[in-house]
Structure 1
Amino acid sequence: MRTLYSYLLLIILAVTFTSCEQQQTQERQHHAVPGVSATEILVGSSLPLSGHASYLGRQTLRGAMAYIKHVNEDGGVFGRTIHVIAEDDGYDPPRCLANTQKLIIDDNVFALFCYVGTPTTVKIIPLVDEAQIPLVGSFTGANALREPYNRYIINIRASYYQETAAAVEHLVEDLDFTDIAVFYQYDAYGFDGLKGTELALKEYDLAPVARGTYVRGTQDVEDGMQKIIDSDAQAVVMIGTYAPCAKFIRLATEQRPDLVFYVVSFVGADEIARILSPQNQSVVIMSQVVPPPDLPESRTLLWGAVEYSDLLKRYFPTDQPNTVGLEGFINAKVLVEGLRRCGPDLTRERFINAVDSIKNYSLGIANTLSFGPNQHQGLERVYFTRLYDGKFVLITDWSKIKSLVRQKERPATKTGQ
């Protein structure tokens, strides 16, 4: 009897030891993957939560969190909830660099996510390469994040080159403009937009008739604006942030009410519309890489806009749906889809392979996302909107914009007068 008892005890001990060993092995495996435990996935973000670009940072983060909170409430991804560590960089490149070092080394995050801005994000490319860490969904169309191809950088939005090329096409072909100026922020973001505009104009044997600049973090637009006014430009391409661009538009309109203003998506539609107020009568055109989520047309262009609006209302009830937040929301959907395709055995390399497998992922009738081993930009389409009665609405007929421009044109000066 004692022998049988001893035998059973040995079996129990052996099973317990094996179970503990398996559990320890699983824990070691989870620990070996940065930012991944049996119950959680850590991702890190550096973006402007204070300062002159804070609207962009806050809305990008809230849009992303609206979807991540929803996923976490449903049990996460294979039992793991997603935890986002968000650091404020104030749209300052050195702060972004320091934040990213902290996120990678101290916080040991699995991936970087939802960065905002060109001068900040391009600064961290060497860190991304060194750590071989995924960078998913940055709110910037910078070409430096797209060329040369980088396995660890996963872009979702269309590029600034694509935005400015489409804008120049409409300005030249639909509005018959030949005299186009460029006003830009004097840093990597502005230079990228300037180059994109110059390349697009070159296709029509044109070049900017004037170039004006301002320093990032300031609203010192007067000198750059006057260069453009003096050039007698018909339209100005603007690559900046919402406050200085709004000031430029207000001041320039006083001298040139006929001048047409085109701004890239990074400017932030809702915020520049708020600053300019519904009384503004300038012709202000903005490109978008997603359609405005609060417009009826968006329900057919992008069903994800409806899902974003519903989840934003649930988790951030005081916020209004906007294009910036919708981008953050789509970034989160790509992050989660990649995690799901990985299965429970999550590593950084498997995650990138999983993102590469996303083909024609539907965001709505006219929008699908696709990636591949040598193709890390998910969306290509550019939309155009016009400031009307205090908000940006979709442009569906450029002939109406042309008629509006013609009404504002200055009468030609008669010879001898």
Structure 2
Amino acid sequence: MKSMGVDLFFDASTPKFAAQAIKKLADLGWTPVHILDINASPVSATLKPAGLDISKGIISTNYGKDPGDPQWKDDPGVKAFFAFMDKYFPEGDKLNTINTYAYSVAELLVQVLKQCGDDLTRENVMKQVANIKGYTPSLALPGIKINTGPNDYRVNKQMQMMKFNGERWELFGPIIEDTGPSG
């Protein structure tokens, strides 16, 4: 794909296939602007198997903290995530952001259940899911908040751009938000 004379490669896949695509681009010597879907952005599951050196310059987005990024080593949310992994999933890959996503989803479920109080009817659960206001999971990037409404159940509407430097993702630019209608 070309945009304003620049080659673009948008890679919407899973880690295994994204790693294969990264290797193939290097084999071909093709150096487009490579935009990688958030689902395939884990360093440990995609970029490391592909080759950190050939992954340099790839662009993606995120809304959560990368547990392998040294800037978060003293972050309370990341520390709690590591303790959770040690206790409940010690064989799991602590650096795979798929696991941090699952942890954040579980935190969100706890938030919804707290909002429900003792009324755990389907009607009230759905009402609370559609009434999350300003909630920030412990692994969310600074400034990211979850807001839902009766006609918008989307929780991941905010994100920040990032670029791989050959070792880790570097965040850049402001938090961007999809404010358009859901659905």
Residue 279 of structure 1: how far off its partner (Å):
4.1
Residue 117 (structure 2) pairs with residue 343 (structure 1):
yes
Aligned AA (2:95): P
RMSD, aligned α-carbons: 2.9
TM-aligned CA deviation for residue 284 of structure 1: 1.9
Partner of 2:29: 256
* Matched residues, number: 168
- Equivalent residue, structure 1, for 2:80: 307
User: Which residue is 1:393 aligned to?
Assistant: 169
Distance, in Å, in 2 between the alignment partners of 1:359 and 1:366 is: 14
Deviation at 1:342, TM superposition (A): 1.6
Alignment of 1:55-204 (within 5 A): 179-180=2-3
Match of 1:26 in 2: none
Q: Please state how far the C-alpha of 1:394 moved relative to its aligned partner.
A: 1.8
Residues 239-263 of structure 1, C-alpha deviations (whole Å, 9 max, x = no match)? 1222232222222223335333111
Distance 2:130 2:22 in 1: 42
Change (3 A) 1:297 1:375: farther
Q: Which structure shows the bigger proportion of residues in helix conformation?
A: 1
TM-score (ref. length: structure 2): 0.74
Mapped partners of 2:30, 2:90: distance in 1: 38
SS class of match (2:120): coil
Question: Deviations 1:174-210 (Å, cap 9, x if unpaired)?
Answer: xxxx924xxxxxxxxxxxxxxxxxxxxxxxxx6xxxx
Q: Which amino acid aligns with 1:265?
A: I
- Whether contact under 8 Å (2:10, 2:35) holds in the other structure is yes
Q: Deviations over 1:59-118 (max 9, x none)?
A: xxxxxxxxxxxxxxxxxxxxxxxxxxxxxxxxxxxxxxxxxxxxxxxxxxxxxxxxxxxx
Q: Quick one: higher RCO (CA 8 Å, sep 6+), 1 or 2? A: 2
C-alpha distance in structure 2 between counterparts of 1:236 and 1:356, whole Å: 36
Q: Which one of 116, 120, 137 corresponds to residue 363 of structure 1?
A: 137
Amino acid at match of 1:352: M
Distance 1:373 1:310, change over 3 A: same
CA contact (8 A) 1:303 1:363 kept: no
Cα 1:267–1:366, aligned 2, differ >3 Å: closer, same or farther? Answer: same
CA shift at 1:373, angstroms? 1.5
Contact 1:291–1:298 at 8 Å: present in 2 too? yes
**Separation in 1 of the partners of 2:32 and 2:57?**
7
TM-score, length of structure 1 as denominator length = 0.36
Tell me: CA distance 1:383–1:303, structure 2 relative to 1, closer, same or farther (3 Å).
farther
What amino acid is aligned across from residue 239 of structure 1 in structure 2? A
In structure 1, what is the equivalent of residue 89 of structure 2?
316
253 and 237 in structure 1: CA distance in 2 versus 1, 3 angstrom threshold: same
Distance 1:384 1:392, change over 3 A: farther
The offset of 1:330, in angstroms, is 1.4
Q: Which runs of 4+ in 1 moved over 4 A?
A: none
Q: Greater shift after overlay, 347-356 or 305-314? A: 305-314
Aligned to 2:59: 285
For the residue of structure 1 that corresponds to 2:161, the secondary structure is strand
Q: Using the TM superposition, give the Cα deviation of residue 348 of structure 1 relative to its aligned residue in structure 2, in angstroms.
A: 0.9
Q: Structure 2 CA distance, aligned partners of 1:287 and 1:179?
A: 21
The answer as to 2:150 corresponding to 1:376 is: no
The sequence identity of aligned pairs, in percent, is: 19
The residue that corresponds to 1:273 in the other structure is: 47
CA distance in 2 between counterparts of 1:335 and 1:363 reads 11
Report the Cα offset of residue 277 of structure 1. 2.5
CA contact (8 A) 1:292 1:298 kept: yes
Q: Give the gaps of 5 or more residues in structure 2.
A: 174-183
After superposition, residues 168-247 of structure 1 pair within 5 angstroms as 179-180=2-3, 234-247=7-20
CA distance 1:296–1:277, change in 2 (3 Å): same
* CA–CA separation in structure 1 for the residues paired with 2:128 and 2:156: 17
Give the secondary structure class of the aligned counterpart of 1:368.
coil
The alpha-carbon deviation at position 282 of structure 1 amounts to 4.8
- The alpha carbon displacement at 1:290 in A equals 1.9
What are structure 1's unaligned runs of at least 5 residues?
A: 1-177, 181-205, 207-231, 398-417
Q: Which amino acid aligns with 1:179?
A: K
Q: Secondary structure at the match of 1:258?
A: coil
Q: Is the 8 A contact 1:265 1:287 kept in 2?
A: yes
Q: Which of the two has higher C-alpha Rg?
A: 1
TM-superposition CA deviations, 1:187-234 (whole Å, max 9, x none)? xxxxxxxxxxxxxxxxxxx6xxxxxxxxxxxxxxxxxxxxxxxxx952
Partner of residue 178, structure 2? none
